[in-house]
Amino acid sequence: MGGFVLKRILQAIFVLLVVTLFVSYAVRLSGDPALMLSQGAGSVTEQDLQNIRAGLGLDRPFLVQYADFVRGIVVGDFGRSFMGGTPVRGLIADALPATLALAFVSLLLSVLVSVPLGIHAAVNKGRGVDQVIRIVSLVGLSFPNFWLAIMLVLLLSVTLQLLPPSGWDGPLSLVMPALTMAIILSATNVRLVRTAMLETLSSQYITVARSKGLAERAVLYKHALRNCAIPLITYIGLQFGNLIGGIVVVEKVFNWPGLGTLAFDAISGRDYPVLQGTVTVLALVIVAVNLLVDLAYGLVDPRIRSK
Amino acid sequence: MQPAVLPTAAAPQGRAFQWRSLEFIAGALLTGLMVLLVLLSVWIFPDRGSTMDLAARLSPPFAQWAHALGTDPLGRDVLARVLVGGRISLMVGLLSTLGASLLGITIGLVAGYYRGVWDTILMRCVDVQLALPFILIALTFISILGGGLGNIIVFMIISQWVQFARLVRGLVLSVREREYVQAARAFGVRDLSMVRHHILPNVIGPVIILVTLNVANNILLESSLTFLGLGVDPLIPSWGGMLADGRTYMQTAWWVSVFPGVAIMLTVLGLNLLGDWLRDRLDPTGKL
Amino acid sequence: AGTLNVALHQDPGNWDPIATFLVSWGAVGSQVFDGLIIRTPDMKLVPGLATKWEFTDKNTKLRFTLRPNVKFHDGEPFDAEAVKFTFDRLLGEEGKKGPQQSNYTSIDKVVVVNPMTVDFILKSPDPVLLTKLAGYGAMIVPPKYIKEKGSQFFGMNPVGTGPFKFSEYKPKIALALERNPNYWGGAPKVDNLNYRFIAEPATQAAELQAGRIDVANQIPLSMVETLKKDSKLAVLSMDGPVALALRYNTQRGIMKDKEVRKALTMAVDRDAIIKTILLGNAKPIASFQGVLSFGNDPSMKPLPFNPAQAQAMLKKAGVKPGTSIQLDFRGPDSNFREVAQAVAGYLQAVGITVSLKPYETNVLLNDIIPNGKTGEMWQNQWGGWTFDYDNTAYAMYYTKQRWNPFDDDAKLNALLHTQRNTWDQAARKQTLHEIARYVADQALEMPLYSLNTVYGLNKRAKNLDLPADGRFRFVNATVE
Amino acid sequence: MPAVHPAPLNAAPQAAGPLLSVRSLAVEFPVPGGRLRAVDGLSFDVSAGRTLAIVGESGSGKSVTSQAIMRLTDYSGGEIVDGQILFNSPVSGPQDLRLASEEAMRSIRGNEIAMIFQEPMTSLNPVFTIGNQIAETLVLHQHMTAAQARAQALSLLELVRLPDAGRLLDAYPHTLSGGMRQRAMIAMALACKPALLIADEPTTALDVTIQAQILNIIRELQRELQTAVMFITHDMGVVAQMADDVVVMWRGRQVEQGPVDRIFHHPQHPYTRALLAAVPKLGSQAGLALPRRMPLVVLEDGQLREVGTEQVQDTVDASAPLLSVDQLTTRFDVAHNLLGRATHRVHAVEAVSFEIYPGETLALVGESGSGKSTIGKTLQQLVQATSGTVRFEGKELAGMHAQDRQRLRQEIQYIFQDPYASLDPRKTVGFSIAEPIRTHRLLDDPRAVQKRVAELLECVGLRPEHAQRYPHEFSGGQRQRICIARALSCNPRLVIADESVSALDVSVQAQIIDLMMELQAQRGLSYLFITHDMAVVEKISHRVAVMYLGQIVEIGSRQDIFERPQHPYTRKLLAAVPVAEPGHRIDSRLIQGEIPSPMRKVGHGPEILRLVEVNPGHRVAQAAVA
Ligand SMILES: Nc1ncnc2c1ncn2[C@@H]1O[C@H](COP(=O)(O)OP(=O)(O)OP(=O)(O)O)[C@@H](O)[C@H]1O
Ligand SMILES: Nc1ncnc2c1ncn2[C@@H]1O[C@H](COP(=O)(O)OP(=O)(O)OP(=O)(O)O)[C@@H](O)[C@H]1O
Ligand SMILES: [Mg+2]
Ligand SMILES: [Mg+2]
């Protein structure tokens, strides 16, 4: 195991290099920050642009810039934003907790809701409960996340005035964004749990567990659930990754100061240092999550571990 | 040496069985109906919902025959646009899901089945893909190749295969250690046939679910692209685009965004019913 | 007393006046800093840190008499050295890195005459100079503070002479200002200003509805009616600096023909678009500028909406029905998405098929347009903060300018040049009118409308003196 | 169908009446094309302190009956369509379990009625440790704390004589041998000291010494707690030893029942007679050098008939070995330090050498957990050998081309110990049986394949239409036969049969063995026959190898082993074989003693035993000889 983790860390470094290299290169393809920064100026000469570029250190060859960035990362210096010179590390340090909080709470909420619902649907397969659960869970998939988000805002903030419609101050602010994400995540999770459950419930050892007189709850949540945990864990891992990096739209609606928005703004502002820094952190988190998922496979299924 | 099977005549059919066929009928009907309406929409609405009437903008639904589902901010008929819009949405949703799932399943199978180097390489690719911000890929991809329909589908495949790959790989890792797989290996079943007959059928359940859900996801992904300004021509109606356009009207004109959402829901419901039915068909043990 | 809560759509990230061109900077910067000249909400130039000014030496020298007894927030006195320092910085190495320097290139140098007098030595005429001196880059900054702490620090912890002091800044999230009791113009009435950065217009509206902000600087037009119905809220819609047009790619296909371009303009009912889609929050324009702009000619009328004539003109020009053209626009701009679709609808009616191509805003602005990669038409949107047609027209029509990838018109160049090199405002106005007419005659664009500046307000906030250009100065504001 | 009417059973010792009394029970399953009545009109009583044995044909509904009593058929798609299951609960009073609420059933299951399932491999949850699965019941029904339950689980594992009980608490099922899993199942069932114990073939995977020990334990428990035991088995020796009363089932019905003596000595129904006639008796072949095929007693139209004639199985071609195994060693790492280095290993197979000649049957017997299955899996390239060489027809396995290996996979067939786990649950058994044929392209025409599958099914006593069914729709013995059919489908030259006839009733077993011997005679097939059933070994093997703790302790001709056993373990094994004669008891002294463990610290390998030849071809571990 120790060796396995060590190997994965080496691979992670490789992944980080590839990702940051790609991102640094791609973002440089997609636009020139000097043009952006000078956009409002009356008339701009090529000389002005070059001055701006030189000021940002963009006049050097790409690989030199990249090497510089990597060197910075190694010593923990993420550079400064093109948009105003804010230290990138500070921006990330501010955004990361918000993102992690949202990701954790949404996932937790979703798991807490979808596991029982999915199991319930599986056990009552074909009956009314199952149909209702299946149809309701689809709502989260039929409307885009911003749509759900705006609906929640209209209902809970504007009409009922229960929750703050946006921002990041205190646990109350977390409710709606987490709810939005949880509704969406649950749509998939409920159905995954249901299916995986159906595959497991017919196993002999489930009959055996029942023969021991275990409460149905123990049979389902202990014996069956763990046996169908692999698709769930896989998917939750993926969802975590998505939540960390990809929920820009929801973050925007709730004005949630997360990494997704940071990355998004950095992309649209061609703010290379912020983007590179954010992506590095994203990649780190995702690599870590995938490592955890792989380790979890062995935990939930000892047969995988023994190889 | 067997007790004989009794004739069926009086034997009542199991409840599960009834539901299963009902599931199929409902699923096929719903999907079929959506597809049919969408296909026929061009004949029903020869203008393809493009006739504008700024004077009649945002008229509410169920008020007049001409615009049964109301009109949008440009005074176009919502019903016509929902039906015509299905053509793009269904095509994008189905094709991109098809592509992504085929790619992802294949990669997941290879990685999970062979493990070792293949697994390492493919799963690191997954890591890379997951760590790249969706918008950046969208932006680079679409701004380099242009935002045509084909490109959007390709882009969706690129951004969606990962989940299939990882899901399938996880399941394969577990299934390949089962004794029946070893048994098959023992009498020399070749890899391809092993995967086809023993691995795939035993991992396919969750995958089917993901596939049916992914159709919805990809239809909606288009609306996220629109939200970010990377979508297709807004003159070509699509469910995702309509949802994105309707988002500022949610307090004033709910129908603009609700009906495309309902259309997505019905389609996805139909597909899911079919998916569940298929899953049940493939799982002989599930006759609870 | 009390706290005023303001929503801004963006965080400029740096509060150094020379580092930015963003409106959202102005919304904060104008509270913290003063220029020598201040522009009032009704567009008048009034004394700021300078009490008076005059041009001498054939307009090559501009002398300012400074306001005495003004102190920066940190106690540092304001004097001629501070002015010199500010402009040396803006025009020197430091300024090179930012976008503001290019606005002030007509200034050769600043000379200290005595502690309360400075001379600006000019190297070329700049008729808009005074307006620009009321602009972002010309905000007076504290020399000692910057020298001690460095620009980097200054950018995060700005110190000015303005009515409000910087107190806390959470990048991308919020910003707090507090009252400057010693403000030379009289201390503001509210104690605190709380800015929150909220990018989504719909979210700003929701926050307004929830009563958590008092001023929203971007609300979706579709929400205007809803907000107006709320007894606690108000909506303020006023002439603004932003003009929109569809520029024609005069190098491409049918667009090479001037008559065709005119026909297209006439085929689109711009008034209807303003009335319905924009709910009246815009004004029709005949040239690429709003009514507040210096150089706007009220007597100039837009081409009329006349589809029949347009069709006839197209036919005459040999344009076949069904000819298709492409319109490039900023994809995320949900408002313009509708406008573009409406335009396409009108053009369809005269037999021109339009395909709409959304672009990510920055790709459009920094690649497609400057490099001339557009379709037949493209969304041209411009918020000239100087409210002077010079700035706009020069950027739009002068050869090889970034916004002019297609045309090279010697006559237009000459006109632009002339007006830019004259101090005589009356003559300049004449020339600007001429330019506008010439552009309209050449049909370089389809002028659409000038967009109103729309604010959403909570009625508990009073005397906000909201300006059209978004540069808030809440000196007189009160909250209940 | 001449069903004997249920005569009242012997009066129970207590006046209270029977603990369980089943009245005209009928269970049905929906199957394609109709409903299958798996159990029909079954009635019997079990009283406290007594043992009822249910014997009968494979697939006759024994397991279904036991599941119906626990009402587990509710979950497996079955339906109790008729009858009563009267349970006189010591806790909650008499009640009809058929009508009991789910709630009531839960407090009875595992607590008052416990069950040992037939197939231990698939009955243990693969993702929980053995200890966890045992402790669970204790926490639930006995309200123990986790620590108490763990301690109790440990003593239960020791009770069922598992070696290394402490380690096994934290081991996962897949690392246990078949017999070890079965003992874990038994420990689980005994945990709460139930009033009624239903044991469905509880000792099929156990060697006779451990079987004897387990039977002893059940008897002890019964004596102590007046437990009623329902014992389902096909081993008439075990029946004779354990049962007070016997129910004989045939085709879903009970054909005969009565006290054990009467059934054994005065069987009424022809099926019972056929069954008893088929019981292999240890020592019946004494003095014969070669195994022989005996005539089969079959039941036809209610009449017993003998078919076939006695034939000597003189099939061995001793010129060159087909398979030779030299110093084969297979170890499993079971504990690791922080750096991922192994600290403890299970020495499953240690320096094992033997040969198999064409046409020969080598029986591999030995203690449960001694490495027999591991040898089988190693030979079939499913488990990586740690060292040693395996040669097939003189060619070394390790150096073979992929193509040769592939051919080997046709010529050597391994029949897994657990048939259920080794059948793909999503494929019809027809598909599974046909798969080797298709894999090795033995037949091209799909119709020919289908025909072959039908033939094979008939060969093993199933019907062609069974090809359409899925594995979960069969009984344990039926699945075992499916696996045999699958192994035979690709014309192998060597079959490794791992406990392949253990779940078959003796009459079917006799048919299958006859089939295997016939194939040997016809095609010169070789068998490596792994089994615990010494009587079967005597009946079919040419040579016998006895394993103990991963090593062969004695190997020799059948006569050598059965008539001149040298090693003490061999002797113990032979002494422990139950005799199909009521009243006969095993000498309990034979079955005492230490439980050895194959797990060792790295660097502390076991002593490699040296075999010395005491007779030509008869070799015994040195220590025993000295
Ligand atoms: N789930 C099921 N679906 C359909 N048929 C079933 C099912 N379970 C059992 N059967 C059928 O019921 C009959 C009785 O099975 P059962 O398992 O009780 O046999 P058994 O007497 O225990 O046999 P064995 O000794 O081989 O274990 C068999 O013919 C079997 O095919
Ligand atoms: N994958 C594994 N990991 C660790 N230990 C294992 C593994 N497989 C088998 N063992 C151990 O190897 C030993 C031999 O197991 P094997 O299955 O060969 O026994 P067996 O002789 O077939 O016993 P039985 O007659 O009970 O089936 C046992 O102690 C078992 O626990
Ligand atoms: Mg059975
Ligand atoms: Mg074994």
Q: Is D122 within 8 Å of D200 (Cβ atoms)? A: no
Residue of minimum CA distance from atom 7 in ligand 1: D473
Q: Using a 6 Å cutoff on CB, does residue D180 contact ligand 2?
A: yes
> How much distance in Å is there from the Cα of D374 to the middle of ligand 2?
6
Question: Rounded to 5 degrees, what are φ and ψ at D565?
Answer: -65, 140
Nearest C-alpha of chain A: how many angstroms from C132?
10
Chain A residues inside the 8 Å CB shell of C219? none
Torsion-angle region of residue C289: left (phi > 0), alpha (psi -120 to 50) or beta? Answer: beta
Q: Is A164 within 8 Å of C209 (Cβ atoms)? A: no
Nearest CA in chain C to B231: C358
Is some CB atom of chain C closer than 8 A to the CB atom of B52? yes
Residues D551-584 as b/e (b if ≥16 CB within 10 A, e otherwise) read bbbbbbbbbbbbeebbbebbebbbbbbbbbebee
How does pLDDT run across D41-94, given as a tens digit for each residue?
A: 999 999 998 999 999 888 899 999 999 999 998 888 889 999 999 999 888 888
**Which of D69, D122, D125 to mutate to test binding with chain A, by most A CBs within 10 Å of its CB?**
D125
Among D118, D253, D466, D478, which is best to mutate for testing ligand 1, by the most ligand atoms less than 8 A from CB? D478
How does pLDDT run across C12-64, given as a tens digit for each residue?
A: 888 999 888 888 898 999 999 999 999 988 888 999 999 999 998 888 899 99
ipTM of the complex: 0.87
Query: Nearest Cβ partner of D340 from A3, A218, A302?
Result: A3
Neighbour count for residue B4 (Cβ, 10 Å): 10
Find residues 129-168 of chain D whose CB sits inside 8 Å of chain B.
none
Query: Nearest Cβ partner of C13 from A83, A164, A261?
Result: A83
Nearest C-alpha of chain B: how many angstroms from C56?
51
For the question of whether the overall pTM of this predicted structure is more than 0.90, the answer is: no
Q: Is D295 within 8 Å of D306 (Cβ atoms)? A: yes
Q: Among candidates C183, C151, C175, C176, which has minimal Cα distance to C73?
A: C183
Residues D295-308 as b/e (b if ≥16 CB within 10 A, e otherwise) read ebbbbeeeeeeeee
Residue of minimum CA distance from atom 26 in ligand 2: D179
Residue of minimum CA distance from atom 2 in ligand 2: D175
**Distance separating alpha carbons of residues C109 and C91, to the nearest angstrom:** 8
Task: Using a pLDDT cut of 90, give the percent of chain D over it.
Answer: 42
Q: Among candidates D512, D432, D511, which has minimal Cα distance to D474?
A: D432
How does pLDDT run across C290-341, given as a tens digit for each residue?
A: 888 888 999 999 999 999 999 999 999 999 999 999 999 998 888 899 999 9
pLDDT tens over chain A, length 307 residues: 566 778 888 888 899 899 889 888 888 877 778 877 776 655 667 777 787 788 788 888 888 889 988 898 888 888 888 877 788 998 899 889 989 999 999 999 999 999 999 999 998 887 888 889 988 888 777 778 888 888 888 888 888 888 888 888 788 889 999 999 999 899 889 989 999 998 888 888 999 999 988 888 889 998 999 998 999 999 999 999 888 876 788 888 898 888 888 888 888 888 889 988 988 898 888 889 988 998 898 888 888 875 5
> How much distance in Å is there from the Cα of D251 to the middle of ligand 3?
13
Instruction: Provide the pLDDT confidence category of residue D323 given band limits of 50, 70 and 90.
Output: very high
Q: Do B187 and D425 touch (CB under 8 A)?
A: no
CATH 1.20.1440.230 fits domain A88-306: no
- Among B229-238, C31-40, C401-410, D508-517, which stretch is predicted with the lowest mean pLDDT? B229-238
Query: Nearest Cβ partner of C341 from B147, B235, B253?
Result: B235
Mean pLDDT of chain B, nearest integer: 83
Q: Among candidates D436, D415, D484, D468, which has minimal Cα distance to D58?
A: D484
pLDDT at D197 (0 to 100):
93
Q: Among candidates B89, B35, B75, which has minimal Cα distance to B225?
A: B89
Q: Do A157 and C401 touch (CB under 8 A)?
A: no
> How much distance in Å is there from the Cα of D479 to the middle of ligand 1?
10
Q: Do B233 and C355 touch (CB under 8 A)?
A: yes
Chain D residues inside the 8 Å CB shell of A227? 125-127
Question: Which protein residues are within 6 Å of ligand 1, measured from CB?
Answer: B 2; D 29, 31, 36, 38, 58-64, 76-77, 118, 472-478, 503
Neighbours of ion ligand 3 (CB under 5 A): D 63, 118, 475-476
Instruction: Provide the pLDDT confidence category of residue D587 given band limits of 50, 70 and 90.
Output: low
pLDDT at B6 (0 to 100):
40
3-state secondary structure of D386: coil
What structural domains and CATH numbers belong to chain B?
37-51+61-282 (1.10.3720.10)
Is some CB atom of chain B closer than 8 A to the CB atom of D106? no
Is some CB atom of chain D closer than 8 A to the CB atom of B191? no
pLDDT at D595 (0 to 100):
67
Q: Do A211 and D472 touch (CB under 8 A)?
A: no
How does pLDDT run across C161-196, given as a tens digit for each residue?
A: 999 999 999 888 899 999 999 999 899 999 999 999
Task: Looking at chain A, list the stretches that DSSP marks H as alpha helix, in order from N- to C-terminal side.
Answer: 2-29, 33-37, 46-56, 62-74, 88-123, 128-142, 145-152, 171-201, 204-211, 216-218, 225-227, 229-245, 248-253, 259-268, 272-300, 302-305
Q: Do A154 and B250 touch (CB under 8 A)?
A: yes
pLDDT at D297 (0 to 100):
79
Instruction: Provide the pLDDT confidence category of residue D7 given band limits of 50, 70 and 90.
Output: very low
Kind plus residue range of the DSSP H or E element containing D273: helix D270-278
Task: Using a pLDDT cut of 70, give the percent of chain D over it.
Answer: 95
What structural domains and CATH numbers belong to chain D?
20-121+194-277 (3.40.50.300), 323-576+596-621 (3.40.50.300)
Question: Rounded to 5 degrees, what are φ and ψ at D544?
Answer: -135, 135
Q: What is the mean pLDDT of residues D526-549?
A: 92
